[in-house]
Every structure is written in structure tokens, then in C-alpha cells.
Amino acid sequence: MKEISNQEIAQILKEISILLEMQDIEFKPRAYEKAALAIESLSENVFDIYQKGGLKFLEEIPGVGKAIAQKIEELLKTGKLKYLEDLKKQTPVNLKELLQIEGLGPKSIKKLYQKLGIKNLVDLEKAARKNLIAQLEGFGEKSQQKILKAIEFARKSSGRFILGFIAPLAEKIEHRLLELKEVDKAIIAGSFRRRKETIGDLDILVTVKEKNLNKAKKHIKKIMDFFVKMPEVQYVYAHGETKSAVKLLNGLDVDLRVVSQDSYGAALNYFTGSKEHNVALRQIALKKGYKLNEYGLFKKIGSKEKFIAGKTEEEIYEILGMQYIPPEIRENTGEIELALKNKLPKLIDYNDLLGDLQVQTNWSDGSASIEEMTRSALKFGLKYIVITDHTKHLSVANGLDEERIQKQWQEIEKVNLKLKSEGIDFKILKGTECDILRDGSLDLPDKILEKLDIVGVSIHSYFNLNKKEQTNRIIKAISNPNVDILFHPTCRIIQKREEIQIDIDKIIEIAQKKGVILEIDAYPDRLDLKNEYIRKCVEAGVKLSIDSDAHSPEHFNILKYGIAEARRGWASKKDIINAWSLENVFDFLKKK
């Protein structure tokens, strides 16, 4: 048996539907599509359903008939599906790539394959550039242009990497460079330094210690040689005297530039970006009679330019009459204007968190015990955590029912006493990640919720309700006076699942009225809420929490990505409730 997720099964059914449509088969494609949709919004795992009742239970899933049930059975049993393999052989094209091109559907993809042998994006672009698509019946010049545009867009949005997933490798490379004896400074600039959710490529800057120009040249050559020969390098685009560029085995591109000590700050500022921030900053410089580029800040005196600054970023901002702007908010969304008026908010700091309000244990789908999670939280410098295991509706995660959650309280008490006896100042709180059911009611009764220290609620099913229904569902859930936090409010998974459709402004408004906290889930591919919504909360005075959503002891490590997202959303300590002492947290919650 193979544990395949609902999402994966739905994906496969959708693929079959598209392949069938290519074959000009009627009705069947629609049946597969319907089954895919049904399985996507199913709250129970198909895998569990099958284990409980076999083929018969599969057939009871709405939209799933006998033929489709059998295919699901084959998938679960063998991990493969012959029917799909056969269909794929008939039109061996890269559907995933081609379908992201706006305007291309199953029928047109089939035609492009049959008439021009187009199998993927590269083939498609070649054909379009050779003007072959314009000549195909049913396409024409206009759609050829559209296709070229869409290819460009697809290239831009794909091939990006999730910050938290590549950071360990990126930092390893950075440290490795720093350890070279020739290197003085090494730093990753670009979107990585701005802590964007996804990273296109890495832009590394280094300076050398050697001041003598001739000697320095040799040192730089050594650094460049070292860089292009790193074990992770797959391909070398450029191996130059001041710049090299490589592709790593995982597909990530990395640029390395050597800059002079005197220009380090200017280069760091330029290559950190964003481009929009750079452009606006340069205009400020011009207005004040300077010129700013990656080499420094220059004053125009007559026809000459005099070097004024460039060694550090700080001195550049200072001479331009501004506060230092943290990289995370350099997006030209108002930070420059405020920095000129000395009115930037003081952002939450990377060591400001005192607690974590969402922690899973092996009582549900976490890997470690309450005590193990607690000891780990202590190591990460926290003062309190809330144990928030899933509830019974989420049966895949072995969610807790009334009875088990009450047993868990005894365990929490026990560990709390143990810590106290060891003289450790730490508090474990009783909480829950209570499932929001389809109609907005909650998976645990009020008489249980009342007794918890902190109640978190979240959505794990029916992701595709329409905006009105989904918004009302959440409003109903957070209107329960026992509810303190809404976890991962938009349910997005970066590069995998779109946000659920909600009226975020309305939810922020209700959260503000009811004193409900909205979460920033720090999981690298969640970062939910995202920065734009965080900023709305900050403006509306809604409190936020930054939680690890830890499922194992080392996961507290990812809190930093939540903090980064909070900073990108302009949040300060006053906005982030788990940067407060436990006393203050409870004072806030009591006022609800």
C-alpha cells in the first residue's frame, strides 16, 4: 500500500481528464474532473477510506463511480496506474509546462504536438520564433504573440525557490566563502537578504583583505576558482575576474561578485535591491545633488564627481538624510518617505519572541512528546509554548476528541510540575488547533474550549468554497467567544495551493472587534498571513502571533522565517503577541 494524499490523487485524475479530452473522447473527461474536485474537497483521507472499507467505500465517495474507484485502488495498491501511462504514451508532451501557457488547452496542445511535434516550452518557443504557429489553422499571428508573452511570464514565475528550504544551503556557501583566508566579507544580497518568500537567484558579494592591487588580483582569482569548483556546481555560466555565475545541482543560480572595500556598502545596497527601492533612492540622491550607484555616493562639483561615501550602507542613508532602512522593507512601498521623516516603525527583532502559540506533539501528528517539545523550546530561548494538537475531525492527523484532550491536560500539568521542580522558568499552556467544520462550527464543544488556556482554530477542509461562504464560515468560527487565534488564515501553500477565497478586510475588521489574534504561520511554504495582509493588520491594530507550527523539536528553528515575514509586513513588537510576557498576553485575552 502506498499512502497517496488526496491532493495527489486529484492531480492524477485531472491529468487523465485532460489526456482524455485530447483524444476527443466525450463525457469521460468531465467524469474524471468531477471526481478530482470531489476528492480535493473531501475532508477524510481517501487512503483511510480505502483501508476501512475497500473498493466499496471508494465507490461511495460522491462523483466516484466504479471505473474510477478501481483506478484509485490500483494507485493506492501499486503507486502506479497503467491507464494513465497508456494515455501519456499517446500524447507524450509535458502537460504541466504547456498548460501554464495562457490560451493553450488540451485540444490546442494536441494539435501543436501532431502538426509541429511540440512537446514542451522550449519546442513551443522555437516554433513561435520561427513563425510556424501563426501559420497553423486556428492559431494566427495574434495567438503566436500571446504565446510568446505567456512563455516569458511562465519563465519568470517558475524556477523560484522557497527561502526557508534553500537557506541552509545558501548559508553554507556563504560561510564557506567567509572561511577562505583571502576573503574579508561575504554576504548574500538580493531577495535573499530582503527575506522574500521565494528567491530567483542568489547574489553574493565578497571583499578581499589584501590592499595591494596586484596581490589582490591573485587572491580574487583564487576565490573565483574556488567558487566555480564547489561540489554543488552543475554548470558554470561565467568565470571572470570580478564576477562568476554558476548553476547548482538543485537548479539554483548563484552570482558572485568581488567589490572593493570602499564600495562595499554601495554595492551591498545596490544588489540588495529591490530594484524599485534602488530607483527611488537614486532619485532622492539626485534631488540632493548626489549621484548614487553600486560604486558609491558621489557629489557633483562642477564637471567632476567627488566620492563621498560607499563603505557602509549606514553612511549612505545618513548622508541622504534618512534613517537606515532594514532590507526586509526595501520595496518602495512607503519606506523611503517615512525614513526621510525619521518615522520608520521599529520592526520586531529576530530575538524578540518569548513564546510559540502553535505546537504539535505526538498526541496528534507531531513526532515528539510534550516534554521533548518543551525541552527543545527552552533551547531556542522561549519562555512558554501552547500545545495545540489537531482535533478529531482531522482523523489523518490522529486528532484529539473530548476524552483524549482531557487526558492531555494531565500530562501537561505533570511536565509543568517537573520543570518547576528543576527550577526552570517555563510554562506549557493547554491549547488546541481546533478544526473549523464546513458550516463554521467547531470540532470541540464549548465546555472543553472554555477550559483551555488558548484556543486556536483553523481550516483543513473545503478549501474551495466561494468567497462569501468561506468568509462567513471563518467569521462564525472566530465569533465564538472562546476562540483566541485564527491559525494559518488563508491556508495557502506557496507554489502548491492558492489562498482560500476570503474577504480579508472583513475578517481583519471582525478580528479587531472581537480581539481575535491572527497568526503568521512560520512554516517556510506557508508564511500565512503574508506580508501584505500583515501590514493591513498592523494598520488596523489587529494583534498577530508568529508560530512555528512545529511538528518536531528542531522546527522551532523556522520561527525566524515568520519573523522575517512579519518584518516584511512592517510589524513591531507591539503587534506580535508572543513577543509579550505571558502576563501581558493573558491581560489582552481577558479583555475580549
Nearer to Ca ion, 294 or 337 (CB): 294
Smallest gap from residue 228 Cβ to Ca ion (A): 16
- Alpha-carbon distance of 485 to 545, in angstroms, equals 8
Eight-class DSSP state of 332? S
CA separation, residue 128 to residues 111, 145, 150, 489 (Å): 14, 8, 12, 42
Q: Helices in 179-274 by DSSP H: which ranges? A: 190-193, 213-228, 264-272
- Alpha-carbon distance of 160 to 54, in angstroms, equals 40
Sign of CA dihedral 419, 421, 424, 425: positive
Nearer to Zn ion, 355 or 366 (CB): 366
- Alpha-carbon distance of 135 to 119, in angstroms, equals 18
With CB cut-offs between 5 and 8 Å by kind, which of Ca ion, ligand DGT, Zn ion, none does residue 313 bind? none
With CB cut-offs between 5 and 8 Å by kind, which of Ca ion, Zn ion, ligand DGT, none does residue 279 bind? ligand DGT
With CB cut-offs between 5 and 8 Å by kind, which of Ca ion, Zn ion, ligand DGT, none does residue 356 bind? none
Show the site string, 203-232: x = touches Ca ion by CB under 5 A, - = not.
x-----------------------------
Smallest gap from residue 120 Cβ to ligand DGT (A): 23
Contact residues for 336 (Cβ-Cβ < 8 A; gap 6+) = 277, 280, 281, 284, 322, 325
Nearer to ligand DGT, 174 or 203 (CB): 203
Beta bridge partners of 544: 518, 576
- The 8 Å CB, 24+ separation contacts for 492-497 are 492/526, 492/528, 492/530, 493/525, 493/526, 494/162, 494/197, 494/198, 494/524, 494/525, 494/526, 494/527, 495/160, 495/162, 495/198, 495/525, 496/7, 496/525, 497/7, 497/463
Smallest gap from residue 200 Cβ to Ca ion (A): 5
Pick from 29, 164, 190, 431: which binds Ca ion (CB under 5 A)?
190
273 lies in the site for Ca ion, by CB under 5 A: no
Smallest gap from residue 202 Cβ to Ca ion (A): 6
With CB cut-offs between 5 and 8 Å by kind, which of ligand DGT, Zn ion, Ca ion, none does residue 278 bind? ligand DGT
Q: Where are the beta strands (DSSP E) in 441-567?
A: 454-458, 485-486, 517-521, 544-547
- Nearest residue to Zn ion by CB is 458
Chain residues binding Zn ion by CB under 5 A are: 458
Nearer to ligand DGT, 269 or 391 (CB): 269
327 lies in the site for Ca ion, by CB under 5 A: no
201 lies in the site for Ca ion, by CB under 5 A: yes
- Alpha-carbon distance of 330 to 268, in angstroms, equals 13
Smallest gap from residue 317 Cβ to Ca ion (A): 22
- Alpha-carbon distance of 268 to 255, in angstroms, equals 13
Smallest gap from residue 482 Cβ to ligand DGT (A): 42
With CB cut-offs between 5 and 8 Å by kind, which of Zn ion, ligand DGT, Ca ion, none does residue 271 bind? ligand DGT
Nearer to ligand DGT, 182 or 203 (CB): 203
Nearer to Ca ion, 193 or 560 (CB): 193
Which stretch of DSSP H or E encloses residue 293? Answer: strand 290-293
Nearer to Zn ion, 18 or 436 (CB): 436
With CB cut-offs between 5 and 8 Å by kind, which of Ca ion, Zn ion, ligand DGT, none does residue 548 bind? none
Task: Tell me which residue of 327, 344, 340 sits closest to 273, measured CA to CA.
Answer: 327
How many CB atoms sit inside 10 A of residue 199's CB?
A: 23
Smallest gap from residue 563 Cβ to Ca ion (A): 21
With CB cut-offs between 5 and 8 Å by kind, which of Ca ion, Zn ion, ligand DGT, none does residue 197 bind? none
Residue with cell 506557508: 526
- Alpha-carbon distance of 140 to 158, in angstroms, equals 27
Rg for the chain (alpha carbons), in Å? Answer: 28
Chain residues binding ligand DGT by CB under 6 A are: 190-191, 196, 199-201, 203, 270-271, 273-275, 278-279
Nearer to Ca ion, 255 or 335 (CB): 255
Nearer to Ca ion, 332 or 472 (CB): 332
**Which grid coordinates belong to 404?**
483524549
Beta bridge partners of 299: 290, 306
Nearer to ligand DGT, 51 or 158 (CB): 158
Nearer to Ca ion, 201 or 262 (CB): 201
- Nearest residue to ligand DGT by CB is 273
Pick the piece of the chain touching Ca ion (CB under 5 A) from 79-87, 253-261, 380-388, 394-402.
253-261
Taking the CA of residue 215 as centre, how many other CA atoms within 13 Å lie in the half-sphere pointing to its CB?
Answer: 7
Pick the piece of the chain touching Ca ion (CB under 5 A) from 200-208, 230-238, 335-343, 552-560.
200-208
How many CB atoms sit inside 10 A of residue 184's CB?
A: 14
Beta bridge partners of 87: none
With CB cut-offs between 5 and 8 Å by kind, which of ligand DGT, Zn ion, Ca ion, none does residue 462 bind? none
| 573, 542 contact by CB (below 8 A) | no
Q: Looking at the chain, how many residues does it have?
A: 592
Exposed / middle / buried, residue 396 (Cβ in 10 Å: 0-12, 13-18, 19+)? middle
Nearer to ligand DGT, 281 or 370 (CB): 281
Smallest gap from residue 391 Cβ to Zn ion (A): 10
With CB cut-offs between 5 and 8 Å by kind, which of Ca ion, ligand DGT, Zn ion, none does residue 568 bind? none
Nearer to ligand DGT, 54 or 240 (CB): 240
Smallest gap from residue 458 Cβ to Zn ion (A): 5
197 lies in the site for Ca ion, by CB under 5 A: no
With CB cut-offs between 5 and 8 Å by kind, which of Ca ion, Zn ion, ligand DGT, none does residue 273 bind? ligand DGT
| Contact footprint for Ca ion (CB under 5 A) | 190-191, 200-201, 203, 255
